[in-house]
């Protein structure tokens, strides 16, 4: 992994906080639940009163093939249905990171699951072992997509936590609603923890150089 030399001041650097249109891509491998995550994120944005377009693509393999979900969120009309110039990107596989990072705007927010992404394409990224931490906390990785939504929500503020919790409740089986809510809140805490940790790492680097 390349060393992080710059703290990703996500709230300031992402263009997602600007009114108008925000383009988001969640990318990884089949079986990681990113299509479901994209649908939940889109529904949350609708609950927040936004205009939304959501699309997805995936390979023929049930697991291990490429998978991505795209969400466009806007205050006004959306004139093109595909995300082409990304404000926010979540990469949960090395292939996704390598293939799509160049679609990210300058100053956009990159969130990387370092469980499966070892070569980080930029120092300006929020790097969290999302899947590994999910497995440690819940005993399996099946909730990684919801944990990732918690990370994304906390890091970018693109949708409200209230709307995301409501969308999760609508989309997951009732018997798993409680644990999915726990997964979402766990992701928010991870984002806060690792954002702070990477900020301290940057401070240590600056102090050593001065």
The predicted-structure confidence for 41-62, as pLDDT tens digits, reads as follows 999 999 999 999 999 987 655 5
Q: Which of 3.40.920.10, 3.60.110.10, 3.30.9.10, 3.60.20.10 would CATH assign to domain 10-209?
A: 3.40.920.10
d(CA 138, CA 2): 29
Phi (first) and psi of residue 159, to 5 degrees: -135, 160
Phi (first) and psi of residue 105, to 5 degrees: -65, 155
Residue located via tokens 């939504």 = 149
Which one, of 130, 125, 99, 96, lies nearest residue 113 by Cα?
130
CA angle 17, 118, 55 (to 5 degrees): 45
The predicted model gives 23-27 an average pLDDT of: 98
Tell me the pTM: 0.84
Residue located via tokens 């928010």 = 188
What residue segments make up the domains of the chain, in order of their start?
10-209
The predicted model gives 157-185 an average pLDDT of: 98
Which one, of 143, 124, 140, lies nearest residue 187 by Cα?
143
Provide the 8-state DSSP code for 179. H
- Share above pLDDT 90 across residues of the chain, in percent, rounded to a whole number: 74
């Amino acid at each position: 992994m390349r060393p992080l030399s710059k703290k990703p001041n996500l709230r300031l650097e992402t263009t997602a906080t600007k009114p108008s249109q925000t383009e988001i891509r969640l990318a990884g491998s089949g079986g990681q639940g990113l299509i479901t995550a994209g649908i939940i994120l889109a529904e949350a944005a609708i609950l927040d009163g936004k205009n939304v377009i959501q699309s997805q693509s995936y390979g023929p393999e049930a697991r291990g093939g490429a998978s991505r979900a795209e969400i466009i969120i806007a205050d006004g009309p959306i004139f093109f249905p595909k995300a082409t110039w990304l404000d926010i990107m979540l990469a949960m596989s090395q292939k996704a990171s390598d293939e799509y990072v160049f679609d990210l705007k300058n100053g956009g927010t990159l969130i990387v699951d370092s469980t499966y992404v070892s070569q980080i394409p930029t120092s300006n990224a929020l790097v969290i072992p999302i899947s590994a931490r999910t497995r440690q906390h819940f005993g399996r990785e099946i909730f990684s997509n919801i944990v990732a939504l918690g990370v994304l929500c906390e890091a970018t503020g693109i949708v409200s936590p209230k709307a995301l919790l409501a969308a999760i409740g609508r989309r997951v089986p009732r018997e798993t609603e409680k644990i999915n809510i726990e997964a979402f809140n766990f992701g928010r805490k991870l984002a806060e923890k690792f954002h702070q940790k990477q900020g301290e790492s940057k401070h240590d680097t600056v102090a050593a150089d001065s």
